[in-house]
Structure 1
């Protein structure tokens, strides 16, 4: 009898122990296992019963959702091709007529994009290969070239805009049609809505919102949202998404920046930069206190002052170059990020058309028509005529990586006068 009782005691203790193990396993592993296999994807889906409210003591890590959303909705893993479109649900159509449904159809082209690009005078694929060759060329040296992506400080990733809906990453370069490309990214990501309906017309987006950082999800914001998983998620998206940027002749970009920020009334740039130039290079110990006063009195920095400011060691010692004249290789890190498409402002409309087709969004948005109010390359000689030849050569050295990386010829007609 004593043996039977002892056996029952052992059975009860063993059962209790197993129950305890199951509880511990579910708390530590089971819940996360369930989460990992719960697909969460943006965009239209067949209706499902509303989830029952349940307590959520802590927010689940959303980085896995982003990966699942992209892989499940946009790509077949390993193929890079669109998945089958989810059939539209026609039930309760009267209740859904006014509800906006993002466009999911893909435009079919009669001629392959690759064949068209081969016939073009300037091939974006050739630009991409040049970028890779220069990055692999040990004779071309510039700061930060050899560092890894992990070594790039978070604050230097603020120009990489991410659109998770379509799997696109755009590195914007100021003075290279970035306003219009930012508009397109807002339309694609549907980050601007009115009465619950996303804005679909790029030109209808106000300029102050175009450059509002809250409208764009950039890499440098990943840390706040994803914490310790941020850098890993960046790498995943860099591998999966289509990455592009647009560039222009580096010297012409400098002229455009000067015209826009110092030949027009800009109070912020006057106080931050123009006053410094006037004090250092124009013998103005007490320059005008406001941009209006400066324009009225005719005391303004010249392009020659601007060139001296860029070459002055004190400039970078005080703070990094402003984004409007910072080198593209410092903004977009082309030797750490393998861009799929490199567009040129000089062929902006043509490049934009092919890029939107490559992204398969040309049925969703069009690149806004340009009035071609561009700073012309033919103006370079006139603008640099006030800059001493030696300073021109030093300025070229400062921007030579951009010339080499993006296929722009050395401007000998400026440097050898």
Structure 2
């Protein structure tokens, strides 16, 4: 016959049950807060920052009342996220992922939650909101671009390339560093270098209010210092999620990709290569000279001992030719040593269009029209205006001259290397360059 438990044993079991119940409750509360911080709070932002002209622009004293911000992305933690989440309702502060600290060359700190911000508040510009209907041809243009990507990304299409059939979970975190997130307005932007990314990064900084000037967020994209635009700490990108959220990061990425408006801008792949060469090797760029030009000069330019600095090289009239650059791209050893630099890496490798269903696909060739269309879709055309286009832009009509010195066989190999970009994004095969 079984003996009944003694009174001390019953009390011990009861105490143990209460302990497990409390621990389980705490764990569930933390999960709910973490989930709400990135999903529920997003809907709060979407209701408060877009609906009103000034509602998302807080006076400096309100920013100063929040908890101390994260020192850097690498210092982020769940506890600081929870503190910031609570304070956004109590004090009206912004999402912690949007708070950054950047030291300017003059030593001034751009801090989203500075302890002593200057007592100044500049309201947003009251630009006219475009209320007329979006032209049917613009909508059709977007439908055609997205439809082409979907068709070619399907498993039964004729286009095949490495990584096409992998899932989003298969993409390494380091390959998600071009996806910039703005939680205030529910936007994900995949930036492609040499495709107006400087100006679009300016737009993202203004929208996310991630940088301050004299205690208030930047209002004009062109006012943002150039040296800060490409500072990686200014932008919150997908590859930073794992540092903050750990095993929850992929789940949160997928939620944002489902709920947010996702866009990218692309351009003719060969014209983009010409632009990259002009910008990085025809101008004095010390970093690109040391990392890439020296290699090109040694391997393909018959310079066994090229000058150590770009200043000395340019003074001596030494620089890699466009032909050297193409040789470098076609050399199998280039990718074996390291992945292509972002300025000439294939666009589909930067933005993963077969894994991410983009809501808007813009092109540099139609930049002005597409920019206006996109800002209206995002409902931020009353907050920000896209900066004027650069007049010294590389254009497709230059291709024939630039590729005149490139052998036809090399042109064909180069097309094969960038064929997925041509076809996915609807650029015609450059027949004139590929046939003698």
TM-score by length of 2: 0.78
SS in 2 for 1:119: helix
In structure 2, distance between residues paired with 1:371 and 1:73: 33
- CA distance 1:34–1:273, shift in 2 (3 Å): closer
Distance 1:326 1:236, change over 3 A: same
Partner secondary structure for residue 244 of structure 1: strand
Deviation at 1:111, TM superposition (A): 3.3
Q: 1:319 aligns with which of 327, 338, 342?
A: 338
Aligned to 1:305: 324
What is the aligned counterpart of 1:134 among 140, 144, 152? Answer: 152
Q: 1:70-89 to 2 correspondence within 5 Å?
A: 70-74=42-46
Shift of 1:138: 2.9
Deviation at 1:32, TM superposition (A): 4.0
Q: Secondary structure at the match of 1:331?
A: helix
Question: CA-to-partner distance for each residue in 1:251-297, whole Å, 9 max, x for gaps?
Answer: 00000000000000011111111111111111111111111111111
Show the counterpart of 1:49: none
Once the two structures are superposed, residues 103-160 of structure 1 have per-residue CA deviations (whole angstroms, 9 ceiling, x without a partner) of: 7x998654333xx1x2349712211111111111431001100111111111111000
In angstroms, what is the RMSD of aligned CA positions?
2.9
* Pair 1:236 & 2:255 matched: yes
Conserved 8 A contact 1:107-1:360: no
SS in 1 for 2:180: strand
Q: Secondary structure of the equivalent of 2:22?
A: helix
Residue 245 of structure 1 is matched in structure 2 by: 264
Q: Is structure 2 residue 20 aligned with structure 1 residue 24?
A: yes
2:285 is the alignment partner of 1:285:
no
The size of the alignment, in residue pairs, is 370
Return the offset for 1:17: 5.7
- Mark the runs of 5 or more structure 1 residues left unpaired by the alignment: 1-8, 39-61, 77-81
Q: Is the alpha carbon distance of 1:288 and 1:358 closer, same or farther for their aligned partners in structure 2, counting shifts above 3 Å?
A: same
C-alpha separation in 2, matches of 1:85 and 1:35: 32
Residue matched to 1:147: 166
- The answer as to 2:41 corresponding to 1:69 is yes
Aligned-pair distance for 1:22? Answer: 3.7
TM, length-normalised to structure 1: 0.82
Task: Show the counterpart of 1:42.
Answer: none
Q: Structure 2 vs 1, CA of residues 123 and 22 (structure 1 numbering), >3 Å: closer, same or farther?
A: same
Structure 1 residues 83, 415: CA separation in 2 closer, same or farther (over 3 Å shift)? closer
CA contact (8 A) 1:265 1:291 kept: yes
Structure 2 residue aligned with 1:196: 215
Task: State the match for 1:256 in structure 2.
Answer: 275
Q: CA deviation at 1:73?
A: 3.7
- Of residues 187-196 and 309-318 in structure 1, the stretch that sits farther from structure 2 once superposed is 187-196
Instruction: Deviation per CA, 1:26-71: give whole Å up to 9, x if none.
Output: 2321x34445666xxxxxxxxxxxxxxxxxxxxxxx4541111113
Residues in 2 aligned to 1:178 and 1:249: alpha-carbon distance in whole angstroms: 15
Deviation, 1:15, is 7.6
Q: Which residue of 2 aligns with 1:111?
A: 132
The 1-side partners of 2:277 and 2:311 are apart by 17
What corresponds to 1:51 in structure 2?
none
Distance 1:102 1:138, change over 3 A: farther
Contact 1:161 1:171 in 2 (8 A): yes
Q: SS in structure 2 opposite 1:169?
A: strand
| Maintained 8 Å contact 2:164/2:354 | yes
Change in 2 beyond 3 A, CA 1:381/1:37:
closer
